[in-house]
A and B are shown apart, each in its own frame.
Chain A
Amino acid sequence: MEKFPGFPDPFLQRLTTLRFKPRPGIAGKGAGEHLVRKGGASVEFSDFRTYTWGDDYRLIDWNSYARLDRPFVKVYRDEEGIVLHFLVDCSDSMDWGDPHKLQYALKLIAALGYVASSGYNWVKFQSIPGGYFYPERRGRQQIPQFFQFLSKIKPLGKCHLGEELKRYAELNPRPSLIFLLTDALEPTGIEGGIRRLLARGHQLVFLHILAPEEIQPQIRGDFELEDKEWGTRVEVTLDEVALQILKKTVENWRNTLRVFCLAHQIPYLFVLTSSPIEELVLKRLPLAGILK
């Protein structure tokens, strides 16, 4: 049996070259590779400020002193590690599809976690609904442990995704970079939960994961469909006309989500489980400005 996540070595090596590219504003933690606005010890010049008693003489910019006859000190930006929250929808609706949606999401998190750990960032995992939790950890030495954790995750039943996101926002006030991986198949919508996360100052990346069968079912005929998560039943007769209407409906629904994300400056990536993870991580995420 292949060991999770089963990435080939070349791909892993490519991952080590990638770095996250968060927008300014999120809280850092510990030393890392991401420049922050506050003063620090990096080589990245930030600003001048007037010399005050106690400042290191070595920081005085003598050229400025020569021109202005007043001592100024050079201020440099700090470099910190960032905390990445991976929120994964582990409801029963994700336990479906070929390739499997939840497994695909977990492999994607493994890849992103690998990237994060390579860049001295913190990784945190939380399943929705609650049930699996991986605390903030950093460093490449914890990657095997993280992969092992991910490999044991199973679907957790039904949940209201919007409500769970609101609860998560209440419990995690520190602004972080959140990767939300879900199929968003929630009849009551998830927009409320996302708004609550944004209100807390989090930066969100919305990875909308669907199986190809969900946007274009290949089945034809009379069926009694049962909702995987909620058990709701509906009798349908799927012919070309009906499938066209269904396709249009799914498209409208996706567009609604996309427009919502655009309006709230949330990177939205629609991911089909049939697309290779390598392509997603190495091409689409950098193109979306999430990785560099």
Chain B
Amino acid sequence: MIFLKPLFLISLLSLLLLLYIVLRRPRREKRVFSQVFLFLRARREALSRISRWQFLKNSILILEVFFLLFLSLSASAPQGVMPPWAGKYCAVVLDTSLSMMATDVAPNRFVVAVSLAREKIEELLSSGNQVSFWELSLNPKIIQNFTSNAHLLESALDKITPSYSGTNIMQLLDLLEKWAAPKVVEVYLFSDLAFSVLPNRFPHLVLHQIGVGEAVENLAIVSANLQGERLWLEIKNFGNKEREVHLKIDGKRVENPSSFWIENMSTQKVALTVTGTKPYIKVEIEEADPLEWDNALYLIRPQSLRVLLVSSTPFIKSALQALGMTVVSVKPEDYNPQISSDLAIFEDFLPDVLPDSPLLIIHPPQGNKLFPWSGLEKEGFPIEVPSSLVEFLDFSTVQFYEVPVLQPGAMIPIAFWGKTPFLFEGVISDHRAVLFAPSLSLSNFPLEPSFPVFLLNVINYLSGEKAGFQSFEETRSDELLEPVLKGEEVLGSPPGLYLKEGAQGFRFYSCAYLSEEESNLLRHTEIERMGATTGSNAPRDLMPFMLSIPLALILIEEILRRKYV
């Protein structure tokens, strides 16, 4: 506790002495006088005459001044009263995860990181900075708070041990952000990993990543996409020399191409044709490197969907065909609920009897019973709320002529036109349903590039239960989603198959390793800066000190008035 500083105890003793003197002092005698304004004038005159050293003759005043001085110093950091403090607040973070103990290099990365951190701390302290020391593991924690004491930091460095776990960089940065605010903290991260963090997510942190160790050989599958029978892979060679790559799918070596070469620090994109009906396939690089987490990949095979489309416009049909869906197109007057489909899309039409499948309802007509209209909104602009359906869609150029105001019942609005919701998701008859309120004929949305992406996202969402995935509701806020194949441990705990979201709303299924960061995918020689760009002095908490200044002035004035007038 800061108030238990010796300085504070001294000031507290001064206060007690002061209180004693004040309580024991003789009280003023009250007198009625014919006038006091001449006394007031005389007091002003006296105050103007007082010599600067005269007040030092007063013992009570000296005690009071000392008390306030001590109190101010103990309540506020000394840095606060030394204005041009040019130092910074720094956090040295050491990765103690399992990968730091890898034996492909000697000494291992942990030993090297401790040595580098020690040098960095010395360098930072010599520049007059305040340094704190943190551990990055699955449960990141602070080892030493901000200090300029080299011994404390040395001691912390000596005590740190490997955690033999993974890393949770986001939790660490969240902790640091809370710890730092409102200051700006320079974070020096010593790790064998390179982390990419969204800019401005941590406005009070300036992150410097310092790579530790070097992966001699490292081939990695960095991305993959499976659409029908076509498989696209992106393979990167992080090693120092050119490598020949052999691929295996479901344990069998790929014959076409049988092998290809990748130069060091280069990426090779490969397109393959895969057949079969297994719900997922395993892709791996044969004899890649000891860091095996990024050598293999599991992909979910997309389901071939049969889509019932009841529409009188060509937009949706064209988009579905482009996406490779099997479309059963029916005119509204020919609709029959007995037509079987994996999901149904209704545009400008809503039958009384709904099919037993997931639904996409576009612009339910006026007068329908399920989603009655309560008005029309003609002014607004799209506003999104976090949802996997619209998360990566660009609505900035989308225009609607009008949006009917619907009463959606149990459907949840996820996007708004001004204040009017125009996109809903929910459940109808135990099936997922999406409701899109505006008319496609009175909008440029079908002509926008985001339209087929939106349609694909909706279809993915609607077919989610059929594919046996976990609900998006539970997982979409995570960067890496839960393993979709529950109970099937692929590469030990906790690795598994993950559903990932890429740019433009396309999703692909990947990952057989702890996390992308832990896979040692990227080299770590570069130093990345992000977050706040300022390096200026962070303001100290000077409130107690600032409060004590007027207090001191009032007290001094009172004493002078009392004693010398």
Given A241-B564, A245-B45, are A232 and B36 neighbors across the interface (CB < 8 Å)?
A: yes
Contacting pair A246 B42 (CB below 8 A): yes
Tell yes or no: A96 within 8 A of B by CB.
yes
Q: Chain B residues near A96 (CB, 8 Å)? A: 32-34
Contacting pair A225 B49 (CB below 8 A): no
Most chain A CB inside 10 Å of its own CB: which residue of B31, B39, B40, B565: B39
Tell yes or no: B467 within 8 A of A by CB.
no
Q: Chain A residues near B35 (CB, 8 Å)? A: 93, 183, 185, 214, 227-229
Given A241-B564, A242-B564, are A228 and B38 neighbors across the interface (CB < 8 Å)?
A: no
A234 vs B562: C-alpha distance when bound (angstroms): 10
Given A234-B39, A242-B42, are A97 and B565 neighbors across the interface (CB < 8 Å)?
A: no
Most chain B CB inside 10 Å of its own CB: which residue of A183, A227, A229: A227
Tell yes or no: A145 within 8 A of B by CB.
no
A182 vs B36: C-alpha distance when bound (angstroms): 17
Contacting pair A183 B29 (CB below 8 A): no
Q: Chain B residues near A242 (CB, 8 Å)? A: 42, 46, 564-565
Q: Chain A residues near B39 (CB, 8 Å)? A: 225, 234, 236, 246
Q: Is the interface of A mostly helix, strand, loop or mixed?
A: mixed
Tell yes or no: A14 within 8 A of B by CB.
no
Q: Which of A82-134 contact B (CB under 8 A)?
A: 93-94, 96-97, 101
Looking at the assembled complex, report how far the CB atom of B557 sits from the nearest CB atom of chain A, in whole angstroms.
12
Q: Chain A residues near B45 (CB, 8 Å)? A: 245, 248-249
Contacting pair A226 B561 (CB below 8 A): no
Contacting pair B43 A236 (CB below 8 A): yes
A236 vs B562: C-alpha distance when bound (angstroms): 6
Looking at the assembled complex, report how far the CB atom of A116 sits from the nearest CB atom of chain B, in whole angstroms.
29
Looking at the assembled complex, report how far the CB atom of A31 sits from the nearest CB atom of chain B, in whole angstroms.
43
Mark each residue of chain A from 216 to 260: 1 if its CB lies under 8 Å from any CB of chain B, else 0. 000101111111111011111100011001101110010000000
Looking at the assembled complex, report how far the CB atom of A227 sits from the nearest CB atom of chain B, in whole angstroms.
4
Tell yes or no: B26 within 8 A of A by CB.
yes
Looking at the assembled complex, report how far the CB atom of B130 sits from the nearest CB atom of chain A, in whole angstroms.
47
Looking at the assembled complex, report how far the CB atom of A251 sits from the nearest CB atom of chain B, in whole angstroms.
10
Contacting pair A225 B38 (CB below 8 A): no
Given A237-B565, A242-B564, A242-B565, are A225 and B42 neighbors across the interface (CB < 8 Å)?
A: no
A222 vs B35: C-alpha distance when bound (angstroms): 17
Contacting pair A221 B32 (CB below 8 A): no
Q: Chain B residues near A241 (CB, 8 Å)? A: 46, 564
Q: Which of A159-216 contact B (CB under 8 A)?
A: 183, 185, 187, 211, 214
Contacting pair B33 A235 (CB below 8 A): no
A249 vs B39: C-alpha distance when bound (angstroms): 8
> Looking at the complex, which one of B32, B41, B561 makes contact with A249 (CB distance below 8 Å)?
B41
> Looking at the complex, which one of B30, B42, B49, B563 makes contact with A224 (CB distance below 8 Å)?
B30
Contacting pair A249 B34 (CB below 8 A): no
A236 vs B42: C-alpha distance when bound (angstroms): 10
Contacting pair B42 A249 (CB below 8 A): yes
> Looking at the complex, which one of A94, A183, A235 makes contact with B561 (CB distance below 8 Å)?
A235
Known: A94-B34, A242-B46. 5 other contacts (CB 8 A): A222-B562, A225-B36, A228-B32, A235-B28, A236-B565
Q: Which 6 A-B pairs have the closest CB atoms?
A: A96-B34, A185-B35, A187-B37, A249-B42, A246-B42, A224-B28
A-B contact pairs, 16 of them (CB 8 A): A94-B34, A96-B32, A96-B33, A183-B34, A185-B37, A211-B34, A214-B34, A219-B31, A222-B29, A224-B29, A225-B30, A225-B32, A226-B30, A233-B36, A242-B564, A248-B45
